Structure 1
Amino acid sequence: MMIELENLIGIIVKNNDLHARWLNSLSMMENTGARKISASEHPTQVNLTILKHAAEEARHAFLLKRQMSKLVPLEQYPTYEAPYLLAPVKSYQYLQALDVAASRYVKKHFQLADYDLKYAAYLLVTYAIEVRADELYPIYQKVLTREKSKIQVKAIIVEEEGHLQEMVAQLKDFSPEWEQHAEAICAIEGKLFTQWIAQVGKEVEQTALV
């Protein structure tokens, strides 16, 4: 996966249109993550870590979106509508499908409901996403550095590493068997990510043939 992913990103980075839509897709996912964190919050029992995480995910979405202007005029990709993304259907479905699967998993393995269920699903989903981010963004940055691109994601990498450490700490407090539960959700995420990247690859190949 790592070599294939690096090669795919290398092709994307060399094409401004593909690169802009790639950035927009990542921005959309970061924004979706921020909104899902906020949606999972209890009306009053919100700690500093959750607020920090939601704020940083929203800022990542902003930073990725803003960097598109280094490649193309922003008005070419003004929103997160399908024409402005790579693999839009899979991009939209990725976090939603993971969230649904995690909620079902929590219902099956824990006696939780309402906000307790949402919080448990948030912990597991966010952990899986941070594990993925710790793989994806460094590969992306490696390609950006190699290609001497104006785009940079170093700041995001640092914050995502911090997020992962925070999620591990919260999961340890949540369940002594947190690792086996996190592994199960990561397996689901892995399948969804593979499907998304496969569709991105198809669109990149089609563009290369034009």
Structure 2
Amino acid sequence: MLTSNLKSIVSDNVLHAKWLNTLSYMENAGAKKISASEHKENVNLIILKHAAEEHRHAYYLKKQISKIDGALCKTYTNAELLSPNHTKYYLHALDIAVCRYLKAVFNLSGYDLKFAAYLFVTYAIEVRADELYPIYQAVLDDAKSKVNVKSIILEEEGHLEEMINQLVSFSNDWENHATEVIKIEKALFDGWVTALATELPISA
């Protein structure tokens, strides 16, 4: 379903611009979530690097829109996003659901809960990015589009490795908990993809 949706999106300049803008919005929202999870003083290099790179991805994706039509999608208003309600709900809902899960399992609160949520939410998002961006790039290649996300794919792979390293330090049983978090993310992502499909031409 995702591949067919993306083919429909890439074949339409307005939809494609909105798609890039939507991805940019989500990367920007992710960067802000990372920054919001930071301790006031105890901030490591990986967190700073990750937040900076997510912001860069947001900028890079936004800039790619000019390869389609520089007049499109200047802001993150609902009219310039695909499935804006689901898009804005996805990360927030994931964060809340993961916090509830971690609070119940680890009895965490305050900064400890924020940091644990950062680890698991970011892990789930990186797993998703590792799937989504290569599929999108393949569709771009098939369409011979000027847009490309190859640099993001490389950086997201690095992010995933970094998150796994941090999760190993967090819990010996991190993989089982990560599996539960992935289930939460998948349900939200599937809902988002379904919502995207409703905005595409009937032939999609």
Q: Secondary structure at the match of 2:41?
A: coil
Q: Secondary structure at the match of 1:44?
A: coil
Matched, 1:109 2:98: no
C-alpha deviation, 1:31, in angstroms: 0.1
Instruction: Give the equivalent residue in structure 2 for 1:89.
Output: 85
C-alpha deviation, 1:113, in angstroms: 1.4
Q: Does the 8 Å CA contact 2:95/2:117 hold for their aligned counterparts?
A: yes
Q: Secondary structure at the match of 2:56?
A: helix
Alignment of 1:43-192 (within 5 A): 43-74=40-71, 76-192=72-188
Instruction: Give the equivalent residue in structure 2 for 1:14.
Output: 11
Calculate the aligned-residue CA RMSD, in Å.
Answer: 1.1
Matched AA of 2:100: R
Q: What's the CA shift string for 1:25-77, capped at 9, x where partnerless?
A: 00000000000000000011110100000000000000000010111124x31
Whole-angstrom distance in 1 between the partners of 2:46 and 2:26? 20
Matched AA of 1:162: G
Q: Secondary structure at the match of 1:205?
A: coil
Instruction: Give the equivalent residue in structure 2 for 1:40.
Output: 37
Matched, 1:198 2:194: yes
Runs of 5+ consecutive residues of structure 2 not aligned to the other structure: none
Q: Secondary structure at the match of 1:65?
A: helix
State percent identity of aligned pairs.
56
Runs of 5+ consecutive residues of structure 1 not aligned to the other structure: none
Q: Secondary structure at the match of 1:71?
A: helix
Whole-angstrom distance in 2 between the partners of 1:14 and 1:90? 22
Q: Does the 8 Å CA contact 2:8/2:201 hold for their aligned counterparts?
A: no
